[in-house]
Each structure stands twice: as structure tokens, then as C-alpha cells.
Amino acid sequence: MNIWEGKKINSGVAIGKAKILKKADNLVKRISIDDADAEKQRYDAAKEKAIEQLMALYDKAVKEVGEVNAQIFEVHSMMLEDDDYNDSVYNIIESQMVNAEYAVATTGDNFSDMFANMEDEYFKARAADVKDISERVVNILAGVDTGDDMGDEPVIIFAEDLAPSETVQMDKSKLLGFVTHLGSANSHTAILARTMGIPALIGIEADDSWNGKTAILDGYSGRLIIDPDEDTLKEYEAKRQKDLEYKELLLSLKGKENVTQSGQKINIYANIGKVSDVAAVLDNDAGGIGLFRSEFLYLEKDTFPTEEEQFNAYRQVAENMAGKKVIIRTLDIGADKQVDYFNLGKEDNPALGYRAIRICLTQPDIFKTQLRALFRASYHGNIAIMYPMIISVDEVRKIKKIAEEVKAELISEGFKIGNVEQGIMIETPAAAVISDLLAKEVDFFSIGTNDLTQYTLAIDRQNSKLDEFYDSHHEAVLRLIEMVVKNAHKEGIWAGICGELGADTTLTERFLEMGLDELSVSPARVLAVRKAVRDTK
């Protein structure tokens, strides 16, 4: 039995087999071979496995995000069967007597460059697709586990690091928890762990020998145990059972009001990142969706999601919520959420850089496409829109002008639009300080405490070295929240929290004293926050 200490980023106990994920080395080596036929057979076998993976992903995506959004996997599968692509791989293997990995990587680069230099936008978009399928085949040839196939039984995932897009694509039914070497307790990947309600640790470097061994992840103490002895296994089975009993207690609160013992009421909504998360929202009895992180529609793709793809996703969420409020945040790309096809470029300080609403206002075509999809979907449910990273009244007025133009266009084209509330996220000190002015321009405030804390304390929340200095309970942050709530109520609009702090039940009573109208938390935390509200006198 071996024990390691890490940093806890979500509580709970996970017991299961360890699965080590490794990222591919970007450098594909050229290796001379003696048998071209054998190498071609290696390629054929890897290609068939890649097609199997893609079709499995297609079936999964159809269930989770609908057929339109799943079609990318079908397209990738078809590209792998393209004669020109396969002939190029075979030719490089035969003529140069080189390994299949090199032949696939070279073919991928050549075809990608060819598509990228075409004038037709459709073919330009295929450049990224060719690279993606080539990388998939190279990974299979190299024996690298990409995480698509998580096996038949639930596992604890170990990785050097996990990007938000990688975490989102995992099969949640097979994911007991995860452990990463790198990362921060306040990163978006950590937030996703809390959204999914699974235990997670950071700061532990996995050993290849752990793969397939029994592991215990203790999200309460930050402890990881590999190959536990029988007594330790029994001890943690009992802890896990206690966890399950507490969850059963929370389940008894389903259908109950979010009301204190003195009669004060508050809305408790849920934060989600993709369409399939709605199941967890409904299962945990949230009153609505306080934050739909629409950027994950962009993170999961190799090119910009179309208006139709976005419309289908937003409509599906609105319809599934059956009239309950669904607040959708416009894309918040940038900082730690990088997307290659946005071509944002390197920045010395991306957290303070070109991101979120700044991209939308300087690239209005991207923004208008999303707004068109949102306003169209609003006819199918109770959709509200909120805009991130606001720092000025001028920005809000520019947004409102663009939104009015989009609505006018849609109406002239015969589309029906619902009654859409438009609000902003308060996540910069600038927005908090002028919240009295901003409240005159919008229908609601949603306080993003993750970034508000980061910017108020001048601490990069992605930097794990600063975790001990990052204090989300800092009085400066709490005073800014209280100021925002007061200024909202003076203008007759509501104010809520959609950041991680909303789920902190040690602050629930103080938030109620401030008069917050809504707390939006990860689905797994809805009932715990409801309990804290109902326990408040």
C-alpha cells in the first residue's frame, strides 16, 4: 500500500481501478522499416480502431447534444475512408520505407495545408478536421490513450493535466474521479469536477505502474492510496457508504422550498457546461439554470459552431427545462479556455487580455451568429442572456445596440422571439464599483465570484503556487458582492451569484443577509445549499 498527499479540489470518496491517460508527443519520429506490407497492416488496424472510436463518439453525442452536433464525428469517420488520404499514407510507407506514424502525420500535414490554402470556406474548415483524424490514428499507432475509450468499468482517471474540453468529452458514467499532476484548485477543470459532483485531487504525479491497480481517492483529506490493504479498503468503503447516506438525506429535500426558518426565500439554480448536464439539473431539483457556459460548444469543435448547431443546443436545453429560467452566457473564450481556430495569439497575461465580450465586440460576426441562435431559441423556452467580463456602461450600450439589430433582422426574416431578459456578469472590480450605473442598463446581475476574487486580490487563479494566498472569503470580495446587491435592488433588478462561492454553505447565511435573490451552483450542490438555506433561522 502506498499513500500520496495532494490538494483536494472536490470532496467525496472514489474507489476503483486507476486509468493513466497520456498525451501524445507532438514530435512524430521518422523510423526506417524493413517490411512495408506489415507497416501498412499496422496502419489499417489503427484506422479501423479510429473509425470504431469515432462511431462510438457519434452515438454518444447524438444522445447528449443531438444529431446535428454529432455529425462532426461522422464526417471524421468518412475522411478516414477517403481513397486519396489512404493512398498517400500507403505511398509514403512504400516509397520511403518509413513507419506508419510518420506516414500518417506527414499525410495529415500535407492535406491540412492543402485545405487551408483553398479559397472556399468549407474546405478551409476541413484543414483542422484532417489534423484531428491524423492525430487520432497516430495516437492509436503509438499506443497513447486519448481517453475516448474508458473501458467497461468505472475508473479513476490520472493525467498530467486536463483541459476543460478534454474533461467535457469524457464518459461521465465511467468517471469515478480524477487526479492530475498540474492544475489549480480554482481552474475551470476543477470547476468541472465540482459541476459533475466527483472527487478530484491535483498535485500528484502518476506512475505508469499504477495503471489497472485499485486506487482510493479521498477528496476530503487530499489523500491518494494505491493498492490499499484490506483494512484500509474496508475503512474507505464505510466512508463512501456514509457519503451515500448523506446524499440520501439531501434527496429528501427534493420538492421542498428554498426558504429560511424566518420565511426568507431565495432561488437556487444550477450551472452547466453542455446540453447533457440538464439531466443532472433536473435530477437535483434546481429551480432553473443560472449559468450555461456556452463556450463549451466552441471548445468541443474544430471550427466555429454554426448558427443552426447553436440554436439546436440552446433550444434543447430550453425545452428540457420546460419553462424554468435558462440563463445562457455568451462565449467566454480566452484566458485558460483557448481554442486554436480563434487564432487569439500568445499573450503575456491572458487573464487580463483579449477574451469574452472583448472578442465579441471586436469580431461582431461571431457575436451576431451566437445572438441569432439565442434569440431564435428564446421562442422555445424561458431564455435569458448574460454577457461576461463587462467593465463599462459603454460596452453594455454597444451590446444592446447589436442585440436590437439582430432581433430586428430575425423578425424581418419571419422568426418569432421570446421575451428575453438581458443581464451582465459582475466579475471585475470595475463593474462592481459602477454597478449603480450598470443597473440602469440591464435586467439583472450575476456575480462571477471566481474572476471577481482573482481580479480583486490580484491573484492568478490558475497559478497553483498562489493557492495558499487565494482567499475567496476575503472581506474585500464580500463587500463588493454586498455593494452590487444593494445597487441592483435600488434600480429594481435582481442579483445572484453564479461563481463557485455560491456553493460555499459556510457563507449561505451571510448571502441571505445581503439579500441575494439567487445562487447558481453545480447541480451536485443544489440540495446541499437548499439544506443550508432551510437550516438558517
516: domain CATH number?
3.20.20.60
- What mean pLDDT, rounded, does the chain reach? 87
Task: Report if residue 91 sits inside a domain.
Answer: yes
- Is residue 112 located within the same domain as residue 171? no
**Percentage of the chain surpassing pLDDT 70?**
88
Residue 351 grid coordinates = 487573464
What pLDDT is stored for residue 69 in this prediction?
56
Residues 257 and 343 in one domain: yes
* Same domain membership, residue 400 and residue 297: yes
Residue at which a domain ends, from 180, 214, 248: 248
Question: What kind and span of H or E run contains 7?
Answer: strand 7-10
Q: What torsion do the CA atoms of 60, 61, 63, 66 make, to the nearest 10 degrees?
A: -160
Cβ atoms of residues 521 and 529 within 8 Å: yes
Out of 248, 265, 300, a domain closes at: 248
- Asked if pLDDT for residue 186 goes beyond 70, the answer is no
Confidence band, pLDDT 50/70/90 cuts, at residue 185:
low
The domain boundary residue, chosen from 206, 227, 248: 248
Do 401 and 526 have their domain in common?
A: yes
HSE-CB of 525 using CA atoms within 13 angstroms: 30
Q: Determine contact, residues 292/315, Cβ cutoff 8 Å.
A: no
Q: Clarify whether residues 168 and 215 are in a common domain.
A: yes
The predicted pLDDT at position 343 comes to 64
pLDDT over 90 percentage in the chain: 55
Provide CB contacts within 8 A for 356, sequence distance 6+. 330, 331, 332, 333, 334, 388, 389
Q: Which pLDDT belongs to residue 106?
A: 93
pLDDT at residue 84 is higher than 70: yes
Q: At what angle do helices 67-80 and 307-320 cross, to 10 degrees?
A: 140
The answer to whether position 27 is within a domain reads no
pLDDT tens profile 316-358: 999 999 999 999 999 887 655 556 666 666 777 777 877 889 9
Q: Is the pLDDT of residue 140 over 70?
A: yes
Q: How many domains does the chain have?
A: 3
280 and 221 within one domain: no
Q: What are phi and psi of 174, to 5 degrees?
A: -105, 5
Going from the C-alpha of 37 to that of each of 33, 100, 405, 474, the distances in angstroms are 10, 11, 61, 66
Question: What is the sign of the dihedral through the CA atoms of 198, 183, 338 and 104?
Answer: negative
pLDDT at 409 over 90: yes
Question: Residue 200 maps to which CATH number?
Answer: 3.50.30.10
Residue 229, classified by CB atoms within 10 Å of its CB into exposed (0-12), middle (13-18) or buried (19+), is exposed
How does pLDDT run across 418-467, given as a tens digit for each residue? 999 999 999 999 999 999 999 999 999 999 999 999 999 998 877 778 87
Looking at residue 54, its pLDDT comes to 84
Q: Is residue 133, in this structure, part of any structural domain at all?
A: yes
Give 256 or 244, the one with higher predicted confidence: 256
Average pLDDT over residues 218-238: 92
Task: Tell me how far apart the terminal alpha carbons of the chain are, to the nearest angstrom.
Answer: 47
In whole angstroms, what is the distance from residue 211 CA to residue 467 CA? 29
What gap in Å lies between CA 269 and CA 326, rounded to an integer?
A: 9
A 10 A CB-CB count for 189 gives 25
Which of 76, 181, 188, 473 is catalytic? The answer is: 188
What was the pLDDT predicted at 192?
A: 66
Note whether 129 and 156 are same-domain residues. no
Q: At what angle do helices 449-457 and 475-490 cross, to 10 degrees?
A: 120
Write the single-letter amino acid at 472.
S
Say which range, 5-14, 145-154, 318-327, 403-412, has the weakest mean pLDDT. Answer: 145-154
Catalytic residue at 498? yes
Q: How confident is the model at residue 218 (pLDDT cuts 50, 70, 90)?
A: very high
Which pLDDT score, from 0 to 100, does residue 336 have? 56
Q: Would you say residue 28 lies in a domain?
A: no
E strands in 405-471: 421-426, 444-447
Residue 76 falls within a domain, yes or no?
A: yes
338 and 243: one domain? no
Instruction: With cut-offs at 50, 70 and 90, classify the pLDDT of residue 53.
Output: confident
**Contact in structure between 264 and 289 (CB atoms under 8 Å):** no
pLDDT per residue over 305-326, tens digit each? Answer: 899 999 999 999 999 999 999 9
Structural domain boundaries, residue 441: 253-535
pLDDT band (50, 70, 90) for residue 535: very high
Say yes or no: 132 and 152 in one domain.
no
Got the DSSP string for 514-536?
HT-SEEEE-GGGHHHHHHHHHH-
Q: What is the CA radius of gyration of the chain?
A: 24
Based on the residue annotation, tell me whether 360 is a catalytic residue of this protein.
no
Nearest alpha-carbon partner for 95 in 31, 36, 28: 36
Q: Read off the pLDDT of residues 261-298 as tens digits, 9 standing for 90 and up.
A: 999 999 999 999 888 889 889 989 999 999 999 887 88
pLDDT at 150: 60
From CA 249, how far away is CA 134, in angstroms rounded? 49
Do 10 and 92 fall within a single domain? no
Residue 376: per-residue pLDDT: 97
Sorted by sequence, the CB contacts under 8 Å of residue 82 that are 6+ apart come out as none
Same domain, yes or no: 313 and 440: yes
Does the pLDDT value for residue 490 go beyond 90? yes
Let me know whether 368 and 444 are in one domain: yes
Residue 103 lies in a domain: yes
Supply the CATH number for residue 41's domain: 1.10.274.10
Is a pLDDT exceeding 70 seen at residue 1? yes
pLDDT of 131 strictly over 70:
yes
Q: Is the pTM of this model over 0.85?
A: no
Residue type at position 216: I
Three-state SS for 98? strand
Catalytic position from the list 181, 380, 489, 498: 498
Residue 79 lies in a domain: yes
Q: Which segments within 55-142 are labelled E, that is strand?
A: none
Tell whether 29 is covered by a domain.
no
